[in-house]
Protein backbone atom coordinates (compact mmCIF):
# COMPACT_ATOMS: atom_id res chain seq x y z
CA UNK A 1 0.00 0.00 0.00
CA UNK A 2 1.37 3.43 -0.94
CA UNK A 3 2.25 6.03 1.65
CA UNK A 4 -0.40 8.37 0.21
CA UNK A 5 -3.05 5.66 0.52
CA UNK A 6 -2.18 5.06 4.19
CA UNK A 7 -2.39 8.79 4.89
CA UNK A 8 -5.72 9.12 3.09
CA UNK A 9 -7.18 6.24 5.08
CA UNK A 10 -6.05 7.95 8.29
CA UNK A 11 -7.60 11.19 7.04
CA UNK A 12 -10.84 9.38 6.21
CA UNK A 13 -11.08 8.00 9.73
CA UNK A 14 -10.56 11.45 11.24
CA UNK A 15 -13.05 13.14 8.91
CA UNK A 16 -15.72 10.50 9.46
CA UNK A 17 -15.25 10.55 13.24
CA UNK A 18 -15.60 14.34 13.27
CA UNK A 19 -18.38 14.49 10.69
CA UNK A 20 -16.14 16.92 8.80
CA UNK A 21 -15.46 17.69 5.15
CA UNK A 22 -12.20 18.36 3.30
CA UNK A 23 -11.39 20.06 -0.02
CA UNK A 24 -8.27 20.59 -2.12
CA UNK A 25 -6.74 23.43 -4.13
CA UNK A 26 -3.89 22.13 -6.24
CA UNK A 27 -1.46 23.74 -8.60
CA UNK A 28 1.80 21.79 -8.88
CA UNK A 29 0.17 18.48 -7.87
CA UNK A 30 -2.34 18.77 -10.71
CA UNK A 31 -5.19 17.09 -8.85
CA UNK A 32 -3.13 14.21 -7.48
CA UNK A 33 -4.25 14.82 -3.89
CA UNK A 34 -7.89 14.68 -4.93
CA UNK A 35 -7.11 11.60 -7.00
CA UNK A 36 -5.52 9.84 -4.03
CA UNK A 37 -8.52 10.73 -1.87
CA UNK A 38 -11.06 9.43 -4.38
CA UNK A 39 -9.23 6.12 -4.70
CA UNK A 40 -10.54 5.33 -1.20
CA UNK A 41 -14.06 3.88 -1.23
CA UNK A 42 -16.53 6.04 0.65
CA UNK A 43 -14.60 9.28 0.20
CA UNK A 44 -17.82 10.95 -0.95
CA UNK A 45 -18.85 11.00 2.73
CA UNK A 46 -16.03 13.40 3.65
CA UNK A 47 -14.46 14.87 0.47
CA UNK A 48 -16.25 17.93 -0.98
CA UNK A 49 -14.10 18.32 -4.07
CA UNK A 50 -11.14 20.24 -5.38
CA UNK A 51 -9.85 22.86 -7.75
CA UNK A 52 -6.84 22.38 -9.98
CA UNK A 53 -5.68 25.99 -10.16
CA UNK A 54 -2.74 25.60 -12.49
CA UNK A 55 -2.88 29.20 -13.71
CA UNK A 56 -2.92 32.43 -11.76
CA UNK A 57 -6.25 33.31 -13.37
CA UNK A 58 -7.88 30.26 -11.78
CA UNK A 59 -6.20 31.00 -8.46
CA UNK A 60 -7.69 34.50 -8.57
CA UNK A 61 -11.06 33.91 -10.24
CA UNK A 62 -12.07 30.60 -8.67
CA UNK A 63 -10.24 30.54 -5.35
CA UNK A 64 -10.27 34.28 -4.71
CA UNK A 65 -6.51 34.68 -4.33
CA UNK A 66 -5.89 38.44 -4.44
CA UNK A 67 -3.90 39.55 -7.48
CA UNK A 68 -1.80 41.71 -5.17
CA UNK A 69 -0.55 38.64 -3.27
CA UNK A 70 0.65 37.03 -6.48
CA UNK A 71 2.27 40.25 -7.66
CA UNK A 72 4.00 40.90 -4.34
CA UNK A 73 5.04 37.37 -3.35
CA UNK A 74 4.65 35.30 -6.59
CA UNK A 75 2.35 32.34 -7.00
CA UNK A 76 4.95 30.11 -5.33
CA UNK A 77 4.76 31.49 -1.80
CA UNK A 78 3.39 30.97 1.71
CA UNK A 79 0.90 33.76 1.16
CA UNK A 80 -0.60 32.27 -2.00
CA UNK A 81 -0.69 28.72 -0.56
CA UNK A 82 -2.64 30.03 2.42
CA UNK A 83 -5.02 32.05 0.25
CA UNK A 84 -5.61 29.00 -1.97
CA UNK A 85 -6.48 26.79 1.01
CA UNK A 86 -8.79 29.42 2.48
CA UNK A 87 -10.40 29.88 -0.94
CA UNK A 88 -11.01 26.16 -1.39
CA UNK A 89 -12.58 25.95 2.05
CA UNK A 90 -14.80 28.94 1.29
CA UNK A 91 -15.76 27.80 -2.23
CA UNK A 92 -16.73 24.28 -1.19
CA UNK A 93 -18.07 24.76 2.30
CA UNK A 94 -15.50 22.27 3.62
CA UNK A 95 -14.29 22.32 7.19
CA UNK A 96 -10.67 21.74 6.14
CA UNK A 97 -8.74 22.40 2.95
CA UNK A 98 -5.22 21.78 1.72
CA UNK A 99 -3.39 23.51 -1.11
CA UNK A 100 -0.18 23.11 -3.08
CA UNK A 101 1.74 25.61 -5.17
CA UNK A 102 5.28 25.03 -6.28
CA UNK A 103 7.82 24.04 -8.89
CA UNK A 104 7.62 20.37 -9.84
CA UNK A 105 10.29 20.75 -12.54
CA UNK A 106 12.32 20.26 -14.54
CA UNK A 107 12.15 24.02 -15.24
CA UNK A 108 10.74 26.99 -13.39
CA UNK A 109 13.34 27.47 -10.67
CA UNK A 110 13.85 30.96 -9.27
CA UNK A 111 16.60 32.50 -7.17
CA UNK A 112 14.55 31.80 -4.02
CA UNK A 113 12.82 28.57 -4.99
CA UNK A 114 14.67 25.74 -6.73
CA UNK A 115 12.96 22.97 -8.65
CA UNK A 116 11.33 20.69 -6.12
CA UNK A 117 9.95 23.50 -3.94
CA UNK A 118 6.35 23.31 -2.76
CA UNK A 119 4.34 25.55 -0.45
CA UNK A 120 1.54 23.69 1.27
CA UNK A 121 -1.37 25.55 2.80
CA UNK A 122 -3.97 24.24 5.23
CA UNK A 123 -7.16 26.03 6.24
CA UNK A 124 -9.14 24.86 9.27
CA UNK A 125 -12.11 26.36 11.11
CA UNK A 126 -9.60 28.06 13.44
CA UNK A 127 -6.53 28.95 11.39
CA UNK A 128 -4.66 29.06 8.12
CA UNK A 129 -1.06 27.86 8.01
CA UNK A 130 1.60 26.96 5.48
CA UNK A 131 4.97 25.32 5.15
CA UNK A 132 7.71 25.20 2.52
CA UNK A 133 9.31 21.90 1.58
CA UNK A 134 12.04 21.27 -0.98
CA UNK A 135 12.60 17.91 -2.66
CA UNK A 136 14.60 16.90 -5.76
CA UNK A 137 14.50 17.58 -9.48
CA UNK A 138 12.43 14.65 -10.80
CA UNK A 139 8.97 16.00 -11.75
CA UNK A 140 6.95 12.82 -11.27
CA UNK A 141 8.63 11.99 -7.99
CA UNK A 142 8.16 15.57 -6.80
CA UNK A 143 4.42 15.40 -7.45
CA UNK A 144 4.23 12.21 -5.37
CA UNK A 145 6.31 13.78 -2.59
CA UNK A 146 4.31 17.02 -2.68
CA UNK A 147 1.12 14.97 -2.36
CA UNK A 148 2.42 13.00 0.60
CA UNK A 149 3.72 16.12 2.35
CA UNK A 150 0.37 17.86 1.84
CA UNK A 151 -1.56 14.92 3.28
CA UNK A 152 0.81 14.80 6.26
CA UNK A 153 0.33 18.50 6.95
CA UNK A 154 -3.43 18.21 6.59
CA UNK A 155 -3.53 15.27 9.00
CA UNK A 156 -1.44 17.20 11.52
CA UNK A 157 -4.02 20.00 11.47
CA UNK A 158 -7.31 18.10 11.76
Domain CATH code at residue 13: 3.90.950.20
Residue 120's SS3 state is strand
The residues near 1 (Cβ < 8 Å, ≥ 6 apart) are: none
Q: What is the pLDDT of residues 104-114, one digit of tens each?
A: 999 999 989 99
Per the structure, the count of domains in the chain is 1
Judge contact between 70 and 59, C-beta under 8 A.
yes
94: domain range? Answer: 3-156
Judge contact between 47 and 20, C-beta under 8 A.
no
**Does pLDDT of 1 surpass 90?**
no
Q: What is the pLDDT of residues 15-66, one digit of tens each?
A: 999 999 999 999 999 999 999 999 999 999 999 999 999 999 999 999 999 9
User: Which among 151, 83, 141, 74 is positioned nearest to 108, based on CA atoms?
Assistant: 74
Residue 114's SS3 state is coil
Amino acid sequence: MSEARILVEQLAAKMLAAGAWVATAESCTGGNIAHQITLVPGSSAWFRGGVVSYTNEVKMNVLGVPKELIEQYTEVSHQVAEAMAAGARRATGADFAVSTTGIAGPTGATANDPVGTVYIGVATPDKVASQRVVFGTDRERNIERFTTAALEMLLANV
